[in-house]
Chains A and B, each alone.
Chain A
Amino acid sequence: MHLALLGNPNVGKSLIFNSLTGLGALVSNYPGTTVVLSQGSVCYQHEMVTLTDLPGVYSLEGRSGEEEIVRQFLTRGDADALICVLDATHLERNLYLFLQATELAVPVVLVLNMIDEAERAGISIDTDLLRSLLGVPVIATSARDGRNIAAIVPVACSDARTSYIMVHYDTHIEAAVAALTGIYPIVRPTAIRALQGEGEDPELLDSAASLAKEIEGAHFMTTAQIVAANRHHCARTITSQVERKGSPHKDVRVDALFTTAFPGIPILIGILGGILLAVFLIGTAIERVLVGAMSVLLLDPISSLDLPPLLHQVAVSIVLAIQAGFGIALPFILPFFIFVSFLEDSGYLTRAAFLTDRAMHRLGLHGQAIIPLVLGLGCNVPALMSIGTLPSRRERVIASFLVTLVPCSARTVIIAGVLAAFVGIIPALVTYLLVLIVVVLTGLFLSRVARGVQFGLILEMAPLRWPDPRDALTKAWMRVREFFIIAMPLLIASSIVLGLLHYLGLIKAFQDLIAPFSTVVLGIPPYAITALIFGILRKEMAPETLFILAGTPDLAAVMTPVQITTFAVMSVLFIPCISTLAVLVRQSGLKVTLLVSFYTLTLGVLAGAAIHLITTLI
């Protein structure tokens, strides 16, 4: 038995999923795709029931990443029954997706979640009438206090039905659907999508386009508008029969503070700055302890084991990779995500997106992209994981570039630990500012050259609510686990390769080869280049390696301030770390990854050369 949870964003779907499967749920690559879907299993009557949590969508049509994923999953027909989760406080709007789901002719169960909130708002819903209108089981639940959650799986396994409700489309649309399904071996939903210009079969799209053109000529509305209006009308008809409205929506006063330019924008800056500062302070403290402990507990014993040199090198490389993975994930990503999950659950992030929309437009993005960019300040890896939510390929490409340039906490550590410590606080601040300027300039440039149409912001504002700390923690933990699944294998592999290169003396050879270049063009000692290369593994490793190669933790004794500055600026701009690259390949493809690598490499080298050139001229 395979069940899938379907619903709009913010209806408590994931909460239901978590409370049904527990924290042991597996986040796995969905077979045949590169998409990560949460899957878990539940035991019902001595049978294993697989449960898949689909990403939140508003529609089964449309071209956004999530909609594609959900559609792909549903058309594969893997799910034996769908659990449609609807927000009881917004029944009419939520029924829209449900009506689309019923067109797929899959057995469904309707879960009316947040029934407690609906009751508080004075909305009462006649579930019996809803059941008889739709012909499917209806369960009123409240995921927050666990009400009726236990009933979902048993009902879905034994009682799920195909709904007999059918949206009556405009007569022209119905005629066109009949014509299309008559000619081509397709089902009704495919025909309706084709009429809206969506689908894969070019021949079908051609015929659909000519039909659609006629319909649009008669209605002076696009087919997509007609279809959507018909569905909403059907949803309204149903809702008006089963729902008794409470008091009208009240404008929350706090919300007014968050969504006006003043004081909204100062509040936004305060919240983001506060989170960054907190994560940075917590992160560096934990990282020091963690990396130190690992060195003592793992690296030192290995050195004392007296292994054959090759084996020793491999063992050390593996430990270094584990150190790198944990050194980023636990101290920085986890606290950062706890904060962000809190913000997300509270509904604040959508307000931030609204406020920053205008500024983001300049960079060729829109408000929603504030989320990846802010995440990027903590760590690029989770930031890139979240760019899948952006609506167009163009925006995802631009965001890929910008996010990898955003100075993550590791790069901030370099600026603070090397520049501020050995050169001074002013150059450190200037460098940080410079990197941010590079981000903005890159955005301005890309927004001009990137292909594709720019989409405007259309974003539902999640209702403001006080987040449940347990949910936020769970969410943060799931994301950290995702990071481990993606980054860890790559980190270990690349660390071993780098270790072997070092063992075979190839890095030394490279260092000798690069020496003239590094001394003449960049003005830094060749071993600094080696340190930069190790920085690809984990950014903080660049200064650490440099200390070892320089033979002293007091850099000022062996390098001039200018050399230290060059090194710091280069390692900050240089190719992002290997974990970032791994996620980038998944999210945006190899081509964009190579472009980003090339761009950052050029940027780093040019910046280094420029500093050297200017200082020698002066």
Chain B
Amino acid sequence: METSCGEDILEVLLCNEYEGRSPPDRGQLAHLLGKELEEITGSLVELSGSGAVTLHSDGTIALSMSGRTDARRVVQRHRVLQRFFYEMLGMAPDKASREACILEHNISDEAITRLGNYIQGAGPRGKERPGAYHNPPLPGTPCRTPLLTCEVGVTVRVAGIFDMGNIHRLLDLGIVPGEEVVIRRKLGNGAMVVEVKGCEVAISPGVADSICVEKT
């Protein structure tokens, strides 16, 4: 149970970030999780021990870089499962979400990948796809290649973007799912210049990490 509580905490923190709210303190976090303060203390200590979350001196709790990666993985597992229950099995959305909440902690990465591929192959309720832009790839499969890991000179296709609520400019510049980008330059820290629609765009490592791509 310890791991599942920890993963729930990560998930809630990521959602909180996504909604642009300031980091919660212990009490608020327990409230968001619908649990008592004592129930989450153990997991919190464990998470901060492993470096996934940072406990600030003012009592607020924030995700670390590695914690954010873990949290995304949990959210992705949740999405794939929820989609499977909802679209393939025809369950009600909230019920699908609840089931996904339970299963997401114990399922292996391989199973999720295969399930994701299966859903993608079947298409959303057999509906015809009007074109690459209308229904881009990557439903909820775990991100195997973030743009951050790609090398200079490679051409990749954007598969999905983790919207942390600050990527509007990215979309305006044409970095949208389905679009091809070329990596032009990369600094030691992972900041890169990519070419999209004939224009060069500089992005910082954090942003590059939230863009999921596939090789063309």
Question: B-contacting residues of A (Cβ < 8 Å)?
Answer: 58-59, 61-64, 89-90, 92-93, 96-97, 170, 217-222, 224-225, 228-230, 232-233, 249, 251, 256, 259-261, 350, 353-355, 357-358, 361, 366-367, 391, 451-453, 455-461, 463
Contact = CB atoms under 8 A, between A and B. Distances in A.
A459 B204 CA distance: 9
Contacts of A460: 173, 199-202
Contacts of A354: 187, 191, 193, 202
Interface string B140-175: 100000000000000000001101111111111110
26 contacts: A59-B168, A59-B169, A62-B169, A62-B172, A90-B198, A92-B174, A93-B197, A93-B198, A96-B172, A220-B138, A224-B163, A225-B171, A229-B133, A229-B178, A259-B185, A350-B202, A354-B191, A355-B187, A358-B189, A453-B20, A457-B202, A458-B202, A458-B203, A458-B204, A460-B201, A461-B193
Interface residues of B, number: 53
Contacts of A461: 193, 199-202
Q: When A and B form their complex, which 10 residue pairs have the shortest distance between CB atoms, in order from nearest?
A: A228-B171, A233-B133, A456-B207, A58-B172, A457-B204, A461-B200, A354-B202, A59-B172, A456-B204, A229-B176
B93 interface: yes
A59 B203 CA distance: 18
A460 B196 CA distance: 10
Contact of B174 (A96, A230, A453): A96
Contact of A232 (B133, B138, B165, B203): B133
A92 B173 contact: no
Contact of B177 (A58, A225, A459): A225
B161 A225 contact: yes
Contacts of B20: 453
A336 to B, nearest CB: 25
Interface string B112-137: 00000000000010000001011110
B168 A224 contact: yes
Q: From A58, A97, A259, A452, name the one whose CB has the most chain B CB atoms within 10 angstroms.
A: A259
A457 B204 CA distance: 5
A412 to B, nearest CB: 31
Given A62-B169, A457-B204, A259 B176 contact: no
Nearest to A196: B168
A357 B133 contact: no
A90 B197 CA distance: 7
Interface of B: 17, 20, 22, 79, 83, 86, 93, 124, 131, 133-136, 138-140, 160-161, 163-174, 176-179, 184-185, 187-189, 191, 193, 195, 197-207
A481 to B, nearest CB: 30
A405 to B, nearest CB: 24
Given A232-B179, A457-B191, A353 B202 contact: yes
B153 to A, nearest CB: 10
Given A93-B173, A461-B202, A220 B165 contact: no
A232 B176 contact: yes
Contact of B169 (A221, A256, A355, A458): A458
A357 B201 contact: no
A259 B168 contact: no
Contacts of A259: 185, 193
A358 B160 contact: no
A93 B174 contact: yes
Contacts of A63: 168
Contacts of A455: 166
Contacts of A457: 191, 202-204, 207
B203 A249 contact: no
A95 to B, nearest CB: 10
A229 B136 contact: yes
Contacts of B166: 391, 453, 455-456
Nearest to B119: A220
Contacts of B133: 229-230, 232-233
Contacts of A452: 22
Most buried by B among A391, A461, A463: A461
A391 B169 CA distance: 10
A449 B88 CA distance: 47
Contacts of A251: 184
Given A93-B197, A229-B133, A455-B166, A357 B202 contact: yes
B197 A92 contact: yes
B199 A90 contact: yes
Contacts of B161: 225
B143 to A, nearest CB: 13
B58 to A, nearest CB: 9
Given A455-B166, A456-B204, A458-B167, A229 B177 contact: yes
Given A230-B133, A261-B187, A453-B17, A221 B177 contact: yes
Nearest to A227: B171
Nearest to A229: B176
Nearest to A455: B166
A228 B176 contact: yes
Contact of B191 (A62, A217, A225, A357): A357
A249 B202 contact: no
A354 to B, nearest CB: 4
Nearest to B86: A217
Given A93-B199, A220-B140, A461-B200, 19 more contacts: A58-B173, A63-B168, A93-B174, A97-B172, A217-B93, A219-B135, A221-B160, A224-B163, A224-B168, A225-B177, A229-B178, A232-B133, A261-B187, A358-B187, A366-B204, A451-B22, A453-B164, A456-B203, A458-B173
A260 B187 contact: yes
